[in-house]
Structure 1
Amino acid sequence: MIINILAAGGTAAAENQFGLQQALKEGGIISQSVFTILVIMSVVSFYILFSKLFEQQKILNQAKRVRTSFWNSTSLREGSAKLEKNSAYKQLVDDGLAAQEQHSKLTDPVEAHDWLHGSLARSEAAINSKLGGGLAFLATVGATAPFIGLFGTVVGIYRALIKIGASGDPSIDKVAGPVGEALIMTALGLVVAVPAVLAYNWLQRRNKSIAEDLSAFSNDVLGFLASNGAVKPAAAGPAPKAPVKPAATTTAGQAGGVQTRP
């Protein structure tokens, strides 16, 4: 019994002599640095993913409130007061109102439409730029993480071959283990890169949808300002209920078919 336990323990030790810990130990400072870089890339990528999802969902919720209540207001200032303080849509409205006030102070003749359109476009671009923050890092991780992992693999294979050559025992069991162990870094690079690429594409698609909605709202604000409030979209609120018709009442004489005279 004891012999069997010792034999099993020896087999487990032989099986565990190759792995991530051993690869980091054998790879030295280079493999450890590659592993650390990949871990940092992965952590930051997931942080960007969740923070951007939260930011995007916040703007999407703001868009729902704009469609249902904003255009019921009689003026843009009244509608702006209904929006959240840091709302992207409130920023567009406030920038449009500020541009309208500034136009009268211009010394060079500039068309009001062009001035308002430029101001709203600049505000819209600032919002989109903020939404796109961090996506470049995801793209960089997706493009470089596999090569960083491959670099760790190359260094690991190089060190393994040097060690095998120095030992003078080029048998398959001495070569396959260290070389296979070095491939762990390539696998880690792919594990880090694939989620980053998926997150980048998903966030980009959501940003595009938000940008289209902001552009449509910006055009509506421009039309309202250029027409002094005569042009504005209909609010997408709940449909009004049809008035209930009162039930027809009949007199006793009418019910009996007898007409009465006053």
Structure 2
Amino acid sequence: MPVSISQYWAQLDEMGRAVAFLLIAMSFVSWFTIFAKSWVFWRIRRSAPDVNRFWDGATMEDAIMTLELVDVERVFVPMVKAGVSAVNSERRVTTMMHKADTADIMTRVLRQEMNKITVRLESGLTLLASIGATAPFIGLLGTVWGIYHALTAVSGSAAIQIDLVAGPVGEALVMTGLGLMVAIPAVLAYNAFNRINRITLAELDGFAYDLHTHLSKSAS
């Protein structure tokens, strides 16, 4: 008669259940991150072709209003507002930045905004990479523990019986499978998100360069 997962669970000791709970928790965190980042990146990529409508605005105010409508995840809008604010602000006159020209000020402001956006886009990716890298080894720990139980059962018996070995070996295989089930989606999602992130940051870098040129010329 086939042994069910519930029967394997009943055979686990404290160590085995701790490993299983850890893998299950990692799976929940991984899938939550995957769904959350998928939603964010989908919205970013969907609106990316419309970002160029910013340059069709008659005035900067119209261009910003257009960008606010298409940039639903607020990736490009903060950079534009920070750049315009830096050009129009007079506060730099009372600071050491008053000695810098407009181009240097724009470079500094846009670089700061790029760093903020990069941190926001990359949030969660390290977590997925960590789960993908460690989940197989945590599953392997459960596997080794199950095999240890199998060897203990065999050594304590005068004759080798398949029912003494089947339970612990099945427990070990379940742990191996659970570790892979947690790791594989996390690794695939990390690779996909990392590629989308690189594309988005490349577009953002090009937009920042064009914005820097436009605002520097407008200020001069």
TM > 0.5 fold call: yes
Match of 1:25 in 2: 10
Asked if structure 2 preserves the Cα contact closer than 8 Å seen for 1:160 and 1:178, the reply is: yes
Residues in 1 aligned to 2:116 and 2:144: alpha-carbon distance in whole angstroms: 44
- Residues 1:137 and 2:127 are matched in the alignment: yes
* Counterpart among 171, 188, 193 of residue 198 in structure 1: 188
How do 1:36-51 residues align onto structure 2 when only pairs under 5 Å count?
36-51=21-36
Match of 2:76 in 1: 89
Question: Which has the higher Rg, Structure 1 or Structure 2?
Answer: 1
| Paired positions, count | 214
Q: CA separation of 1:54/1:229 partners in 2, compared to 1, >3 Å: closer, same or farther?
A: farther
Residues in 2 aligned to 1:113 and 1:222: alpha-carbon distance in whole angstroms: 7
Q: TM-score, normalised by structure 2?
A: 0.87
Match of 1:183 in 2: 173
Asked if structure 1 preserves the Cα contact closer than 8 Å seen for 2:23 and 2:182, the reply is: yes
Residues in 2 aligned to 1:63 and 1:92: alpha-carbon distance in whole angstroms: 15
Residues in 2 aligned to 1:215 and 1:106: alpha-carbon distance in whole angstroms: 30
Match of 2:214 in 1: 224
How do 1:91-110 residues align onto structure 2 when only pairs under 5 Å count?
91-102=78-89, 104-108=92-96, 109-110=99-100
Match of 1:122 in 2: 112
Please list every run of 5 or more consecutive structure 1 residues that lacks an aligned counterpart in the other structure.
1-11, 231-262
CA RMSD of aligned residues (A): 2.2
Letter in 2 for 1:46: W
Residues in 1 aligned to 2:129 and 2:184: alpha-carbon distance in whole angstroms: 10
Q: TM-score, normalised by structure 1?
A: 0.74
Q: CA separation of 1:173/1:29 partners in 2, compared to 1, >3 Å: closer, same or farther?
A: closer
Residues in 1 aligned to 2:209 and 2:118: alpha-carbon distance in whole angstroms: 16
Asked if structure 1 preserves the Cα contact closer than 8 Å seen for 2:122 and 2:197, the reply is: yes
How big is the shift at 1:43? 1.9
Residues in 2 aligned to 1:139 and 1:219: alpha-carbon distance in whole angstroms: 31
Q: CA separation of 1:106/1:53 partners in 2, compared to 1, >3 Å: closer, same or farther?
A: farther
Q: CA separation of 1:25/1:46 partners in 2, compared to 1, >3 Å: closer, same or farther?
A: same
Match of 1:113 in 2: 103
Residues in 2 aligned to 1:66 and 1:177: alpha-carbon distance in whole angstroms: 59
How big is the shift at 1:176? 4.8
Relative to structure 2, which stretch is displaced further, 130-139 or 35-44?
Answer: 35-44
How big is the shift at 1:59? 1.9
Residues in 1 aligned to 2:187 and 2:86: alpha-carbon distance in whole angstroms: 40
Q: Deviations over 1:20-70 (max 9, x none)?
A: 333332221111111111112122212211211211122223322221x21
Asked if structure 1 preserves the Cα contact closer than 8 Å seen for 2:153 and 2:165, the reply is: no
